[in-house]
Amino acid sequence: MKLGVNIDHVATVREARYHGRLRGEPDPVQAAQYCEAAGAHGITAHLREDRRHIQDRDVRALRRSVRTRLNLEMANTPGIVAIALRLKPDIVCIVPERRLEVTTEGGLEAAGQWRALARTRRRMNRAGIDVSLFIAPNPRQVDAAVRIGAQFIELHTGAYAEAFARPAARRRELRRLAAAARQAHASGLRVNAGHGLNYANVPELFGVPHLVELNIGHSIISRAIFVGLETAVREMLDTMAGYPG
């Protein structure tokens, strides 16, 4: 199981002080380099429409510097789609996006907008870019991802993370994730997961089969405040070690 590190929160700290300026610290591109040096398998960045953290210049610099795998999270809107087609990340993960949310609150309603998503998927694939859909562990949404022709899904683990302190609810969410992973794998999709994952709740995901990659940001960046970014990444890699697949 691979680790993709989401560096959005590094940019969030920078924007708190240097919003609207061409330079500032901390630099998310430098953070990506530290993550790769520590063994991360990929870098994730979300270019939101309101540019609240990652900026256009960041994704351009990341495309030049990332040596592993660049995953661009994005809404399915014309302007962001055009940027992705010019940038050519290794993979895009299409996510829902609302201006008022603090972070992405739920999975994509892929079933209700499959035609628009299929058009974007075809454009990305023609440009050599893999497509992932960020969806809830719901059979209807997995079926829609197959219909759309995505190469990956990323299972939204937010409900699992919220339920983690309640054993019965946690087990229920793990069953949902496992069922969705099996369904997706049987349909030819590759399965990633992310949202709300941390050093405490990742080990129980070992019960979910077929996971290719976890995308984790906030927990790693939070831990890095105390131990440094490279150590925080290595600790997460150690936490993920031994996943049976």
The residues carrying an active-site annotation are: 46, 73, 195
Could you give the CA distance from residue 8 to residue 51 in angstroms, rounded to a whole number?
A: 11
Q: What is the 3-state secondary structure (H, E, C) of the chain?
A: CEEEEECHHHHHHHHHHHCCCCCCCCCHHHHHHHHHHCCCCEEEEECCCCCCCCCHHHHHHHHHHCCCCEEEEECCCHHHHHHHHHHCCCEEEECCCCCCCCCCCCCCCCHHHHHHHHHHHHHHHHCCCEEEEEECCCHHHHHHHHHHCCCEEEEECHHHHHHCCCHHHHHHHHHHHHHHHHHHHHCCCEEEEECCCCCCCCHHHHHCCCEEEEEECHHHHHHHHHHCHHHHHHHHHHHHCCCCC
Q: 130 pairs with which residues across the strands?
A: 91
Could you give the CA distance from residue 43 to residue 3 in angstroms, rounded to a whole number?
A: 9
Could you give the CA distance from residue 12 to residue 54 in angstroms, rounded to a whole number?
A: 8
